C-alpha cells in the first residue's frame, strides 16, 4: 500500500477473510473425506422414503423435495413431501 491509498479511503480494516476460508474448508473437507469411503446414499434414501410414504398415502413423486445442509457441528436433512388435498385422496382411495 502506498501513501496515495490513504487518500483513497482504503484505511478501514476489513474482516479477515482467511478465517472464513479455513472454516469453510474444514467443513467441506470433513464431509468429502467421509464420502470418499462411502457411496452417496442420498438418492437411495430418497427413493426408499418415498416408497414407504406411498404405501400409506397417494403422493406425487414429483412433489418431493430433499435438502441437505452440511454444517460443522450439525447437518440437517430435510425431506418435504407434499400430500394431496383430501378430495384427491378420497378419489385415490375409491379407485382402489
Q: Residue 13 Cβ, how far from another protein at the closest point, in Å?
A: 9
- DSSP-derived 3-state class of residue 4: helix
**From the CB of 3, what's the least distance to another protein, in Å?**
5
Q: Is 9 left (phi over 0), alpha (psi -120 to 50) or beta?
A: left
Q: Does 70 bind another protein (CB under 8 A)?
A: no
Nearer to another protein, 2 or 94 (CB): 2
60: phi then psi, degrees, rounded to nearest 5? -95, 115
Among 7, 8, 9, 26, binds another protein (CB under 8 A): 26
Amino acid at each position: 500500500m502506498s501513501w496515495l491509498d490513504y487518500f483513497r479511503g482504503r484505511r478501514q480494516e476489513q474482516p479477515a477473510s482467511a478465517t472464513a476460508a479455513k472454516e469453510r474448508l474444514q467443513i467441506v473437507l470433513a464431509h468429502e473425506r467421509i464420502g470418499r469411503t462411502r457411496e452417496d446414499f442420498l438418492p437411495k434414501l430418497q427413493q426408499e422414503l418415498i416408497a414407504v410414504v406411498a404405501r400409506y398415502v397417494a403422493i406425487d413423486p414429483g412433489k418431493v423435495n430433499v435438502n441437505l445442509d452440511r454444517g460443522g457441528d450439525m447437518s440437517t436433512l430435510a425431506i418435504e413431501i407434499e400430500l394431496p388435498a383430501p378430495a384427491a385422496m378420497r378419489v385415490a382411495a375409491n379407485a382402489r
